[in-house]
A and B are shown apart, each in its own frame.
Chain A
């Protein structure tokens, strides 16, 4: 209709063995429009992006670019047309400088004069309010800054359609505000933006239009500002799935875990060291640790599980010092761990679910004088599958064959059935579909109500606010004060995530 139509997809079909990832998708993006692409994991969002960016070829359908039919057979072709993409996992080289990274994506002629390139990078970064020094090494940049490198890399190539894949999942709330200001400015200048997300409030505040995908089809189009987040969520998950849990207030009991001045120095120069982390956990409460990835979350989890031995500090579980104990000894005392990576750390991909149960639950009478009691292992595994509604082909299916959400339910269930006193869970619902996320949240709350203490490490602030009675944030290995959730504004938490807190105050508040 209008001359300003930038991208139009008609009836895109892409079929993988056993799955129709895109099943007749139509999509239009106008120039200067910020268009949201919404949907759960597995709804077909990433396949559709790959089609647009030329990474995969559609089986059917056609694509119109500025009104003309085109065939995008490679990312290089897409870039030449003016399509830029920022992947969720950045394709940056840590040992190169910002300018060198950007030069790699440019035609040889444009990248030759390094000084001129530095100048161009500075211009673009100032113009869009994304401060960035072209001479710095990427390894020294924060995640937010790395994302700027990716975006500037697109902008410097005169991109007219910018695709962003879940760009806010790695940012602090303040960084999100800055990013949105940049995107709005870009859109005003006529650049179209395809914004992929599952955070509904963000979509409502930023995007002009939204297309919602479910199971490979368009389940609806809407103007996000005119409809409620609940309406959009309904379009995403369908009618029969509960969207969220109601969490009754916690009734904390006595102190269970007390960590004082935990310090640990990373031997990896690009790793994060823990600095004087203090935290107390009561029985029957969930405490949340927010923070941008890579600020010490993984190290904290490992220090609590016993995978790394802290250099300094105290760690008491129910009055007993556990700082010097091995992971196995801690497990026997009732410490359960749900690590971030499901495959590889939470479960062995190539082993069956039953064998994976044995890995952490061997203390539940599954082993007798060194011999495995397979009958009991199977019973235990079946109980987890039944109680936590894990969709799989029985306890003999391999961990790898399960979807992310189902495997996570299995892992949480495996720990929950051992009646832990302390559960440390890292990003338990990351990359999990809404239905499974609700089930996982319910399992955590149930465990809490049975008197367990839970430390929940997560980047999903909605999740933290929903489940936790107290929240703090990790930044560069230091822990902010822990504030009661009801008194903690999201702005305050954002500042903590950016490191704006006084450590001494944090220590006192926790002591």
Chain B
């Protein structure tokens, strides 16, 4: 029992950065903008959060800096991809490459420094629930933020006018414009939200998961987050599932190694990626449901007024 709880709690921790980044990208893509710059924005968030925390001594300042860094990066992307209607794929890839380089440059002097990262804060009452309490409600504050973000995104998409505007713009910007909606404003906001969440995801890595800065410390999580959004067919509840599945598989590979299984570590390291993608591919099998949630204009620049 104790082992199970520990594994599940570790699963949530490992899945949280993915969850944060993927929720942001989900909102961004629902507006019809594909931002391949996740990796770059996460790295900038990670380094900004770490440096700000180190110099100010405050984790809150660090988180704020990380979010702002993510937003700043995403606005750079939005200017190219939304205002100038540049190719979204090219602009996103450029953002990732730029972010990898810039974060390494900014963080070069901080490698090897250490800070006191986020520690666990048990929520009274909720953490006393058997099993779930220890797994979900005896975690660090950023995990709680990710849970709140999930609920907020879910409610926003399904039950608010803002969510309706977002879905409308993502499906058909021309028709949205004909209906008097401000397509470019909606897209800017969506991209900025995605940037902020990616920055936060980066902060989770450098302030909570492993409180330190190393170059390229996201290790491809930005790309996994992107894949998650697609395979989750743009539905937040499936993003959660996919993120934790990935977390579980990456913990499993550590556990299996610990148990001394005689499998090559390289094969085991593949496990999270393979399991997550297989599972979500199987889930996204219903084409009609998938189509209802797919932003049809995804990846297509919109130029208002012919």
| Complex alpha-carbon distance, A91 and B168, angstroms | 10
Which of chain A's residues 46-95 have a Cβ closer than 8 Å to chain B?
A: 74-76, 79, 87, 90-95
**What per-residue 1/0 map shows which CB atoms of A290-310 lie under 8 Å from chain B?**
000000000000000000000
**What per-residue 1/0 map shows which CB atoms of A330-347 lie under 8 Å from chain B?**
000000000000000000
| Complex alpha-carbon distance, A139 and B293, angstroms | 12
* Interface assignment of A386: CB less than 8 Å from any CB of chain B: no
Contacts of A76 in B (CB 8 A): 180
With contact pairs A75-B178, A104-B179, A108-B161 given, residues A93 and B291 touching in the complex (Cβ less than 8 Å): no
Contacts of B288 in A (CB 8 A): 269-270
Contacts of B291 in A (CB 8 A): 95, 139, 269-270
* Chain B residue at minimum C-beta to C-beta distance from A77: B180
Please determine whether A75 and B180 come into contact, CB atoms closer than 8 angstroms. Answer: yes
* Interface assignment of A459: CB less than 8 Å from any CB of chain B: no
Which of chain A's residues 230-282 have a Cβ closer than 8 Å to chain B?
A: 267-270
Please determine whether B292 and A93 come into contact, CB atoms closer than 8 angstroms. Answer: no
* Interface assignment of B215: CB less than 8 Å from any CB of chain A: no
* Interface assignment of A4: CB less than 8 Å from any CB of chain B: no
* Interface assignment of A392: CB less than 8 Å from any CB of chain B: no
CB distance from A21 to the nearest CB of B (A): 15
CB distance from A194 to the nearest CB of B (A): 18
Which of chain A's residues 318-357 have a Cβ closer than 8 Å to chain B?
A: none
**What per-residue 1/0 map shows which CB atoms of A441-469 lie under 8 Å from chain B?**
00000000000000000000000000000
| Complex alpha-carbon distance, A269 and B286, angstroms | 9
Which of chain B's residues 244-300 have a Cβ closer than 8 Å to chain A?
A: 287-288, 291-294, 296
Contacts of A94 in B (CB 8 A): 171, 296
Please determine whether A93 and B180 come into contact, CB atoms closer than 8 angstroms. Answer: no
Contacts of A269 in B (CB 8 A): 287-288, 291
Please determine whether A105 and B179 come into contact, CB atoms closer than 8 angstroms. Answer: yes
Contacts of A87 in B (CB 8 A): 178
Please determine whether B179 and A91 come into contact, CB atoms closer than 8 angstroms. Answer: yes
Interface size on B, residues (CB 8 A): 21
Please determine whether A139 and B292 come into contact, CB atoms closer than 8 angstroms. Answer: yes
* Interface assignment of A181: CB less than 8 Å from any CB of chain B: no
Contacts of A91 in B (CB 8 A): 172, 174-175, 178-179
Please determine whether A104 and B168 come into contact, CB atoms closer than 8 angstroms. Answer: yes
* Chain A residue at minimum C-beta to C-beta distance from B164: A100
Please determine whether B178 and A93 come into contact, CB atoms closer than 8 angstroms. Answer: no
Contacts of B167 in A (CB 8 A): 93, 95-96
**What per-residue 1/0 map shows which CB atoms of B188-225 lie under 8 Å from chain A?**
00000000000000000000000000000000000000
* Chain B residue at minimum C-beta to C-beta distance from A111: B161
| Complex alpha-carbon distance, A149 and B137, angstroms | 47
* Interface assignment of B165: CB less than 8 Å from any CB of chain A: yes
Please determine whether A103 and B161 come into contact, CB atoms closer than 8 angstroms. Answer: yes
Contacts of B161 in A (CB 8 A): 103, 108, 111-112
User: Among the listed B164, B178, B293, B294, which residue makes an inter-chain contact with A103, where contact means beta carbons less than 8 Å apart?
Assistant: B164
Please determine whether B287 and A95 come into contact, CB atoms closer than 8 angstroms. Answer: no
* Interface assignment of B181: CB less than 8 Å from any CB of chain A: yes
* Interface assignment of A501: CB less than 8 Å from any CB of chain B: no
CB distance from B245 to the nearest CB of A (A): 26
User: Among the listed A74, A104, A267, A268, which residue makes an inter-chain contact with B164, where contact means beta carbons less than 8 Å apart?
Assistant: A104
* Interface assignment of A180: CB less than 8 Å from any CB of chain B: no
Please determine whether B180 and A96 come into contact, CB atoms closer than 8 angstroms. Answer: no
User: Among the listed B176, B180, B287, B294, which residue makes an inter-chain contact with A79, where contact means beta carbons less than 8 Å apart?
Assistant: B180
* Chain A residue at minimum C-beta to C-beta distance from B171: A93
Contacts of B296 in A (CB 8 A): 94-95
User: Among the listed B179, B287, B292, which residue makes an inter-chain contact with A137, where contact means beta carbons less than 8 Å apart?
Assistant: B292
CB distance from A319 to the nearest CB of B (A): 39
| Complex alpha-carbon distance, A108 and B162, angstroms | 10
* Chain A residue at minimum C-beta to C-beta distance from B168: A93
| Complex alpha-carbon distance, A117 and B103, angstroms | 50
* Chain A residue at minimum C-beta to C-beta distance from B292: A95
| Complex alpha-carbon distance, A44 and B178, angstroms | 20
With contact pairs A103-B164, A270-B291 given, residues A96 and B171 touching in the complex (Cβ less than 8 Å): yes
Please determine whether A92 and B175 come into contact, CB atoms closer than 8 angstroms. Answer: yes
Contacts of A137 in B (CB 8 A): 292
Please determine whether B168 and A96 come into contact, CB atoms closer than 8 angstroms. Answer: yes
Q: Which residues of A contact B (CB under 8 A)?
A: 74-76, 79, 87, 90-96, 100, 103-105, 108, 111-112, 137, 139, 267-270
- 16 A-B pairs besides A95-B167, A96-B164, A104-B179 with CB distance below 8 A are A87-B178, A90-B175, A91-B174, A93-B167, A93-B176, A94-B171, A95-B291, A95-B296, A103-B164, A104-B165, A104-B181, A139-B291, A267-B287, A268-B287, A269-B287, A270-B288
The 9 closest A-B pairs by CB, nearest first: A91-B175, A269-B288, A91-B178, A76-B180, A269-B287, A93-B171, A95-B292, A93-B168, A105-B179
